[in-house]
């Protein structure tokens, strides 16, 4: 059974193992986090937990029955009812709808627990899986593109609460 959990301090070792194990897989389609991410992981983990406690971000981990982290779904830069969605799923968990299900769970939390109304997301143009997840969960491309670390990126947006008439 897979579950979504709000990131806690004790997730740190499993999250670091997840990031290390999947680094090459992720770097094939998104900008690499760099060696500094891994060298300073504990300090960074403490920092993101502090930001989460302040309501600036909401970090979630996708946890397997054995406690292994199989993915993460984050809502960052929370302000004025909006946030940026980011997610990544372990290579061994891809192709089974895991990312789509996890994003849907976090979309529900975005409305019910965090009071968000709008989400933004970015993916690289060549990341077909990510485009599929965003489309399946209701995101629409905004038409805006940009280059990040040599990768052409596409912006998406989703209105979580339809406007009142």
Residue 29 sits in a domain of what CATH number? 3.40.630.30
In a domain, 14, yes or no: yes
What is the Cα–Cα distance from 92 to 11, expressed in whole angstroms? 19
Residue 81, CA distances (Å) to 13, 53, 70, 136, 154 in order: 32, 17, 28, 22, 22
Give 84-97 as a DSSP string. Answer: EEEEEE-GGGTTSS
In a domain, 161, yes or no: no
CA nearest neighbour of 8 among 64, 90, 72, 65? 72
pLDDT of residue 31: 73
pLDDT of residue 163: 60
In a domain, 82, yes or no: yes
pLDDT of residue 70: 94
**Residue ranges, the chain, pLDDT below 70:** 1, 162-165
Range of the structural domain that residue 101 is part of: 3-116
What is the Cα–Cα distance from 69 to 16, expressed in whole angstroms? 9
In a domain, 48, yes or no: yes
What is the Cα–Cα distance from 108 to 104, expressed in whole angstroms? 6
pLDDT of residue 136: 96
pLDDT of residue 2: 75
pLDDT of residue 123: 93
**Into how many domains does the chain fold?**
1
pLDDT of residue 33: 87
């Amino acid at each position: 059974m897979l579950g979504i959990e709000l990131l806690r301090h004790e997730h740190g070792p499993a999250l670091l193992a997840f990031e290390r194990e999947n680094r090459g897989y992720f770097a094939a389609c998104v900008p690499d986090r760099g060696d500094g991410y891994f060298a300073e992981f504990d300090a960074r983990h403490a920092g993101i937990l502090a930001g989460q406690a302040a309501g600036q971000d909401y970090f979630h981990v996708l946890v397997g029955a054995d406690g292994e982290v199989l993915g993460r779904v984050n809502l960052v830069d929370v302000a004025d009812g909006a946030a940026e969605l980011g997610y990544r799923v372990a290579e061994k968990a891809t192709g089974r709808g895991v990312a789509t299900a996890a994003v849907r769970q976090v979309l529900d939390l975005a409305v019910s627990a965090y009071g968000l109304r709008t989400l933004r997301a970015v993916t690289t143009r060549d990341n077909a899986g990510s485009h599929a997840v965003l489309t399946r969960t209701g995101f629409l491309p905004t038409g805006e593109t940009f280059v990040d670390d040599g990768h052409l990126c596409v912006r998406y947006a989703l209105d979580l609460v339809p406007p009142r008439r």
